Every structure is written in C-alpha cells, then in structure tokens.
Structure 1
Amino acid sequence: MIGTIRGGGVTALPLLILLLLPVPVGAEALTATLEDGTEFARFDVAEGQEWCVLWNHSVQGFPVSDCYQNQAGHMVLVHAHLPDFAAGLDHIPGRGRQVSDGQGGYFILDINEPVPGDAYILRPGAGPVNHRLQVGDAIVSLSAVATHQRVRIALERNEGQ
C-alpha cells in the first residue's frame, strides 16, 4: 500500500519510503479530491483489498464505519459497523445481514453493493465527527482537510496501468 497526503497541515509520508515500496500489480488508486480537483489523499488499493470510511456519531460520539473493497477494479460496499441503534443508524432489511457485535451494536455483513461510477461525494463533518479514510494502518482525516466541503472519494485505475 502506498499512501500520500497533501495539504491541510497533514504530514506527508517521506518520499524516500514511497519510492522504495512496490506498487501492487493491478492496483487501483483510492483518492480523496476537493471540488476544484485538488487531490489530498491517494492510496494504492490492490484487487481484494478493503478500506473504510470512519466517523464519530454526531450525537453519541462513538465510531461508525462503512467498509469497501476493490472488486475487479470497482468500489463495492461490503460491510459496516454500527455500535448502537442511535439516531440515523439502522439496518435496511434485504441489504446485507445484521449480526450482533457482542457489545450492544451490530455489523451489517454481505452488503456487496457496487458504488455507481466507483465514486461518491462526502461532506466531512466538523470537530468531533472527524470523517476519516482508513486504508490498512494509514488513516487520513478528511475533516481536517475539508470540513463541510464536497470531497470526491473514488477508486480509479492507476496511471500507467
């Protein structure tokens, strides 16, 4: 996995490390881009690899996640974790299957819903909501860079492949 972060006071990974890491064969790029076209996050995401969009519930404050997978070069929503049945959080019958997380919340598994156009727009919330993009161990705060702005999250073919 290669990740770069630009702008917004977020520290970039050292260029030397990026040059030494191999690019996965058949990898697509997961990007976060502002409306003006400024890209501020990019990760190589190999076939079968997952990533998540995380945020803290605006009322209860607990973390919520929607997780996606690169399936044959397409962005597919595969599962979610909702630690509570708080406002705005529930399972839609017929859209995946709900199972307990054993701690009062639940997972929605087997959603397997392709994202139209392999991209969507998110307006990251301010402060404690802290929308984040997580790929492996790397986490980028979308809120720190683009609070209340239109951010396009997309899975795209890497240039030169």
Structure 2
Amino acid sequence: MAQSKVEAALVVRNTQGDTLVSIPMPEGATWCLEWNHSVTGIRVQDCYRHHAGRMVLERSHQPDFAAGLGHVLGRGRQVSDGDGGYWIEDINEPVPGNRYRLRVGSLAVNHRLLHEGRRISLSEQAADQAVTIQLQTDP
C-alpha cells in the first residue's frame, strides 16, 4: 500500500492567533530562519526540513563564534563554509510539537524566513513581539 504524503504549511502566528505567514510546505521541503546576530550583526541561519510530518532542524550556519553561537560536540558535525564561517551539518533534531516560540527582533536583527529564493521579514510584521513558528500538518 502506498504511503500518503502529509500535507503541511509553515505557519507563523502572533500571540493573538493571527496568521502572519503561511507557506505550503510539502514533504521534503526546506526553509531557513535567518537573522543578524544582535551583538556582531553577522548573519546566522537555522535550516529545517519537513520530514514525515515533522519539523526537523537539519543544519545551522554561523559565520563566526560570536556570543551564544558555536558547535556542541555530539550535535551534528562542523564543516567550513569556505568563507571563514562554518555549517553545523547533520543535526537532524525533530522540533518538539513541530513548533517553537520566537521573540522577533528589531529591524536591525531582522528575523526572516527563507524559502525557495524568497525572504519574508518577520521583523517588518512583528518586531519585538512573540510569535509561534509551526509546521502545521493536516490531520
């Protein structure tokens, strides 16, 4: 019997439950949350994949070892990005409940979603507010 695909969307909601972003996210699709480090201003990325109905953190890009950043032994593997920074590859951690809360930074931090060449600024919509980022799957 063929396994059916899990239909899903990446949804960002504010604390009032209003949907700020909704992006179809079929099985295997990837996206990243990107932001500018609040101290150094360097660009950081956490990248996810829809895998079998789960939001899975696959890898993270960190251009240097700024405050709060760094590789944790046993959690993926660190490889050079060829430009002075590094990727932490093969993290492969399911996100509990397929969601997490984020305090969206100011426009200087500019939290943004990257998907299929698009950049969607969460900071333009919800700076200094809490949001929930969720891989929402149909029952």
Alignment match, 1:82: 62
| Cα offset, 1:120, TM superposition | 0.3
Which structure features the higher share of helix residues? 1
1:50 partnered with 2:34 = no
Moved over 6 A (4+): none
Contact 2:6 2:52 in 1 (8 A): no
Paired-residue identity, %: 51
Matched to 2:77, the amino acid is R
Over aligned residues, Cα RMSD in angstroms? 1.2
Alpha-carbon distance in 2 for matches of 1:91, 1:107 = 9
For normalisation by structure 2, the TM-score amounts to 0.92
| Cα offset, 1:88, TM superposition | 1.2
Residue of structure 1 aligned with 2:115, choices 135, 143, 147: 135
For normalisation by structure 1, the TM-score amounts to 0.80
What pairs up with 1:104-123 in 2 under 5 angstroms?
A: 104-123=84-103
Alpha-carbon distance in 2 for matches of 1:50, 1:106 = 19
Which structure features the higher share of strand residues? 2
Deviations 1:56-102 (A, max 9, x none): 11122121100000000110000010011111110111010001112
| Cα offset, 1:138, TM superposition | 1.9
Alignment match, 1:149: 129
- Unaligned stretches of 5+ in structure 1? 1-24
